Structure 1
Amino acid sequence: MVYIDKEKLKEIYPPNFRLDGDIQKGYINEDGTIEGVFTLDGFEPCTLDGMEGLWNEEKRLFIPNEVAEQGAKSLVGAPILAPTPKIENIREFFEKRYSMLDCYFENDESVYNLSTDEDVLKKYEDSKTSFVFLSIDMVKSTELSLKLPLELNSIFDNLFLNEIASIIRGMGGYVYKSVGDELIAFFEPANLLNKVDDSILCSDYIRVFILDYLNKFLEKNNLPQVGFRTSINYGEVYVKNVGDKLELNGYNLSATIKLQNFAKDNEIILGSNVVNIANKKWKSRMKKLKVNPRKLKKEGLHEGMKVYRLHNLEGRYD
């Protein structure tokens, strides 16, 4: 019979490995106490030598409830898998943004906000830190630029990027920079598990908005339909001031951008760094891609990196 404490648990599971669980019939109070029963996947409630806890038959592992609850306390006041977005009703948010799309063609500057969220980065200046990164670009934008007048093409790009930025910020993320038709964003890992979930949910919201709302607007105005490619990754970078501008430097950011090359039209690609951290409900929708190590090396990625695609998403574009 094996008893386990928090330190021993860290030895068994790698850093940032997610032990998924649920709080049944309850929430975590502000004082950290849990109302309800906390469970972990693969574990069953058990009483051992008078101590209540959870038992995993495969690992022959017993975790006292007090230890198991520590994993939930970081989500104070919210149930497991509760994202932390500012958007309360995503459908209402989509409808509101849809009603504002005409503003881009009326030179209404109020809809433009692609500036870098430098206030967030300032607290990390001259230090190493980890972020969850999300990168998205427009599919076949070069072909569109050849079809559209120069002024209209500029409006097209701004509409696409600004609407994505509004969703990202609404989901608790921040804009790092936009380059051409590509937008790079980051999520602070104050609570890493939640931020990974938020970034994946954010990417799915972007997918729905582009395909169900933005393209509907474009079709109504006899404009070309658009597609996207999205990639999500997690890792450490260095925040440095370069010419009075904060820059993020490091492999993990560049890897996020390069992962887009493995995406087909309207696909969401995930780096292996986020897979172990993601909630089980997202993991069930992740499919590992067969990628030749030579192609990874050619793209400047670690040859052992695993690449996943998010699939079986709800909606008519599965």
Structure 2
Amino acid sequence: MLFPTEFDVIVVGGGHAGTEAALAAARMGQTTLLLSHNIETLGQMSCNPSIGGIGKGHLVKEVDAMGGAMAIATDEAGIQFKILNSSKGPAVRATRAQADRILYKQAIRSRLENQPNLWLFQQAVDDLMVEGDRVVGAVTQVGVQFRARAVVLTAGTFLDGKIHVGLNNYAAGRAGDPPAISLSARLKELKLPQGRLKTGTPPRIDGRSIDFSRLQEQPGDLDPIPVFSFMGSAAMHPKQLPCWVTHTNERTHDIIRAGLDRSPMYTGVIEGVGPRYCPSIEDKIHRFSDK
């Protein structure tokens, strides 16, 4: 079925990249359609709910300077803010925030729903409409065809995604969400190069199960409280909370070493390249346990 309206831009995927792309196109006056398999997960922080830092803080500032949503959404959702390297010169300082994942998602969703020229549609994309050497639209899982002058793919690691838990693995975009297998296969048909990235997601721990008296409190910066957006203010922040520092010990290291033969990173099951500055805990123990 062909949808009667033709759009200027279609964005496939509603994560960090997709929501920013859709908002940017709509702000430029382009009729924009954002397609996501689940409207309820638009802007969801899948892994570490941290924004900015030494490696990424400048990117958040650049997105903000172009009118993007990430920095201002972080100001509305950040429960701890710190200026890293504050004892050093301005060139190496960076803002980092820990965000409330629910508040962040709400802030992004609100901007999407109130942005003129932007339409949201809940449906997974399985195929692309190609005429000659141009992509002219997207086809959803139930066969709805949307035409557009440009299609932006931001499906990310959902493309033929896999989750590994010890010796078990299964197809998924993230825990509880299906992968984009058909779309990935279509890209292979079009001879577009693909790679596989790897990230390790730590378990979520119920705070009621933690003995905080045995941990080291790590407060955020309070005087003044940093902000991320050029248009933000500390008054936007929700209640500020401390982080808590814990440590591994030799017994922890022994347990991890004893289980390396069951780690997908060391059995050859995972082939993707992990983030350089965010190794998994077993990788830390294996490579530099003395630090």
Q: TM-score range by the shorter chain?
A: under 0.3
TM-score w.r.t. structure 1 length?
0.23
Higher relative contact order (CA 8 A, sep 6+): 2
TM-score w.r.t. structure 2 length?
0.24
